[in-house]
């Protein structure tokens, strides 16, 4: 079998390992997987315009990604979120989704989801649904075509809208993710709520995160969602919800629209106490925390043996040192550390 092919007959071992539990008693059941660091956008808060991407030879093959994810599923991971970069620009990526279908069908994997910028969604939405994907997140920070092109540097809002149409037509549940940016989309939050809820979509607002060197100063971009929520109370009735989707969002129902609004607040409210997730990069590096640099190399044990046991052991050792939480501080830029991110790697490397 060629290294680029996926072994659809490879199943989980009958004696799959014990659940992954970190030092703080949290069961790790959620894996976010970046299948590529490449993206067809250059969002100003995420990347520099002149990005240098990883050599393709450094990336895990689709077969290796399948094998690693399967080991995680065998150790109790129930949810996989496929991210990037932009995951749908990876060549032949649908072969990977086809491979993961076997774990959904067996019941070992409960959910397979995707975070995408929507640019490639129109041509892949039905295939994703056929592979067992039930819901997706689409990253979209503005509904203004000119502002969209500015924030993404060369994205086409029309293609994203076509992708959302195709996703809903395929029966996928769509959630919109929007990064809240000071002096950019503050005035669009209410219109985006009305638009998303009018189409039966949740909307989640996200505070800008200090990851990776970019061309701008994030302290100028930062908009506190505590402030946003307070302003929304002048217009809406917000009811706190206990809903959790496995991620860091805290949800409210807007009584006037009947829809859900999520807040992801890594800077104004640390959400680490219930963290049940880890992140795998496209090179096989496992990050136990988005906001910490400690990581484990899974590529070496993966390639060193045809047995999955060394990989499983490396995963267990990594989870045993998962930290309690991150230490993102946007204010550091205002105290003599201007322009330096809390974490040097870009979000596209770690996975959204």
User: Binding site: residue ranges?
Assistant: 32, 39, 43, 45-46, 81, 85, 115, 139, 175, 209, 272, 275, 277-279, 289
Distance separating alpha carbons of residues 291 and 248, to the nearest angstrom: 13
* Torsion angle, alpha carbons of 209, 212, 218, 221, to 10: -60
Q: Which helix (H) or strand (E) holds 287?
A: strand 285-287
Q: Which helix (H) or strand (E) holds 286?
A: strand 285-287
CB 346 within 8 A of CB 212: yes
- In this structure, the strands spanning 260-264 and 173-180 are unpaired
Contacts of 343 (CB under 8 A, 6+ apart): 210, 211, 212, 290, 291, 292, 293
Distance separating alpha carbons of residues 193 and 191, to the nearest angstrom: 5
Contacts of 344 (CB under 8 A, 6+ apart): 212, 213, 293
Q: Which residues are annotated as a binding site for [4Fe-4S] cluster?
A: 39, 43, 46, 272, 275, 289
Whether cis (ω within 30° of 0) applies to the bond prior to 123 is: no
Query: Which residues pair with residue 131 across a beta bridge?
Result: none
Q: How far is CA 242 from CA 79, 206, 252, 268, 299, in A?
A: 19, 18, 8, 19, 38
Q: Which residues are annotated as a binding site for GTP?
A: 32, 81, 115, 175, 277-279
- Percentages helix, strand, coil for the chain (3-state, rounded to 5) are 35, 20, 50
Distance separating alpha carbons of residues 109 and 102, to the nearest angstrom: 9
Q: Which residues are annotated as a binding site for S-adenosyl-L-methionine?
A: 45, 85, 139, 209
Q: What is the DSSP letter of 108?
A: S
Q: Which helix (H) or strand (E) holds 295?
A: strand 295-297
């Amino acid at each position: 079998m060629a290294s680029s092919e996926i072994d659809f007959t490879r199943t989980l071992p009958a004696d799959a390992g014990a659940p992954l539990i970190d030092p703080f008693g949290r069961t790790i059941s959620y894996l976010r997987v970046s299948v590529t660091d490449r993206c067809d956008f250059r969002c100003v808060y995420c990347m520099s315009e002149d990005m240098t991407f990883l050599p393709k030879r450094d990336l895990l093959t689709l077969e290796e990604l399948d094998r690693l994810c399967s080991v995680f599923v065998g150790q109790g991971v129930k949810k996989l979120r496929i991210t990037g970069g932009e995951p749908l620009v990876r060549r032949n990526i649908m072969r990977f989704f086809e491979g993961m279908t076997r774990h959904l069908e067996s019941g070992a994997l409960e959910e397979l989801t995707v975070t995408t910028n929507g640019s490639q969604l129109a041509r892949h939405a039905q295939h994703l649904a056929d592979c067992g994907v039930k819901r997706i997140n689409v990253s979209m920070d503005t509904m203004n075509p000119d502002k969209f092109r500015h924030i993404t540097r060369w994205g086409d809002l029309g293609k994203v809208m076509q992708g959302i149409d195709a996703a809903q037509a395929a029966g996928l549940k769509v959630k919109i993710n929007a990064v809240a940016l000071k002096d950019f989309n503050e005035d669009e939050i209410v219109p985006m709520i009305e638009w998303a809820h009018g189409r039966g979509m949740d909307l989640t607002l996200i505070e800008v995160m200090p990851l990776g060197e970019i061309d701008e100063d994030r302290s100028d971009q930062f908009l506190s969602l505590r402030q946003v929520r307070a302003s929304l109370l002048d217009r809406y009735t917000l009811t706190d919800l206990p809903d959790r989707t496995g991620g860091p969002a805290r949800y409210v129902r807007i009584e006037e629209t009947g829809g859900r609004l999520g807040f992801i607040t890594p800077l104004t409210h640390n959400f680490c106490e219930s963290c049940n997730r880890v992140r795998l990069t496209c090179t096989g590096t496992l990050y136990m925390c988005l906001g910490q640099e400690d990581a484990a190399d899974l590529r070496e044990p993966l390639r060193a043996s045809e047995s999955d046991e060394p990989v499983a052991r490396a995963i267990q050792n990594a989870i045993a040192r998962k930290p309690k939480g991150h230490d993102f501080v946007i204010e550091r830029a205002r105290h003599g550390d201007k322009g330096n991110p809390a974490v040097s790697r870009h979000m596209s490397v770690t996975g959204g």
